Amino acid sequence: MDDQPLTYLLTGISQVGFPIVLTGYLLVRFEKKLEMLTESILKLIEVINNKNTSEGSHGQ
CA dist., res. 39 & res. 41, Å (int): 5
On whether the pTM is more than 0.85, the answer is: no
Q: What's the confidence (pLDDT) of residue 55?
A: 79
pLDDT value of residue 43: 98
Please tell me the predicted confidence (pLDDT) of residue 6.
80
* pLDDT at position 9: 79
Domain residue spans in the chain? Answer: 4-58
What is the chain's pLDDT, residue by residue, as a tens digit (60 residues)? 567 878 887 888 888 888 888 888 899 899 999 999 999 999 999 999 999 988 776 655
